[in-house]
Amino acid sequence: MAKKAPRRTAERILEVTLDLFNRFGEPNVSTTLISAELSISPGNLYYHYPAKEELINALFDRYELGLNELLNASDGVRDVEDAWFFMHTLFELIWQHRFLYRDLNDLLSNNRHLETHFQGVLKHKTRALRAMLDGMTQAGALQIDTREAEATATSMVVVLTYWLSFEYVRDPRHALEAESAQLALLRGAHHVLNLLLPYLEPGQRQHLLNLVSAYTSHAASVAA
C-alpha cells in the first residue's frame, strides 16, 4: 500500500490554527502556541506566515471562497425542504469558521482586510437570501410583497451573522463546544426560516413546523 504524501506545512498550520482559534478564540491564541501545537519552531511558522494577521486573512479567504460557492446556489431553493437544507449547510460552514463570528467586532476593528471583505460577505448573503425568496415565490411556496422581501432578507442575514453570539451569551461555557454544534445549527436554521412563516403557503408552513418539531424532539431526548 502506497504511503500518503505528507501534508504541506502551510496547510497543516492553517488547520491547526483554525482549530485553536475556534476552541479558544483568536485573541487568546499566540503564534507561540500555534508553533508549539504543531511541534515546529516559531521560525518555521514565520517562514510560511510572517504575522498572525496573515493566518487570519488566509483562513478568512478560504471561508469566503466556500461561502461564495454556497451562496451562489441559493437561487436553486424552491421550497421549505430546500431552504432547510441550504440554511443548515450555511450554518455548518459558519460553524467550521466560528472564530470569525465569535470575535467579529475585535477582528474587524483590527484588520482592514476583514473589515472591507466582511462588508462584501453581508451584501452577498443578502443578495443570496433575496434570490432564495424570489425562487420560493416563483415556485409558489411563499407569497411576499417585493417591498417586504428586502427587509426580510436583511433580517435573515442579521440572525445568520449574530446567531453564534447569541448562543455564546446564553451558555458561555458550552455553546461553542463541538458537542453543542448540531443543536446550535438546527436552532439557527429554525430561527432564520421562522421569519418566513407569515409568508409561507399553508402546506409549506406546516412542513416547516414539522421539521422544527422533529429537531426539538431530538433536542429533548438528548437533554433527558
Note the pLDDT of residue 85.
94
Q: Provide φ and ψ at 177, rounded to 5°.
A: -80, 155
pTM of the model: 0.87
CA angle (197 as vertex; 195, 199 as ends), nearest 5: 100
Note the pLDDT of residue 3.
45
Note the pLDDT of residue 174.
73
CA distance 46 to 182: 35
Which among 136, 98, 102, 104 is positioned nearest to 118, based on CA atoms? 104
Q: What is the pLDDT along the chain (224 residues), one digit of tens a residue?
A: 444 444 588 999 999 999 999 988 899 999 999 999 999 999 999 999 999 999 999 999 999 999 999 999 999 999 999 999 999 999 999 999 999 988 888 899 989 999 999 999 999 999 999 999 999 999 999 999 988 999 999 999 999 999 888 888 887 777 667 777 778 888 889 999 999 999 999 999 999 999 988 877 655 555 54
Note the pLDDT of residue 167.
84
Ordered DSSP codes for 33-74: HHHHHHT--HHHHHHH-SSHHHHHHHHHHHHHHHHHHHHTTG
Note the pLDDT of residue 176.
66
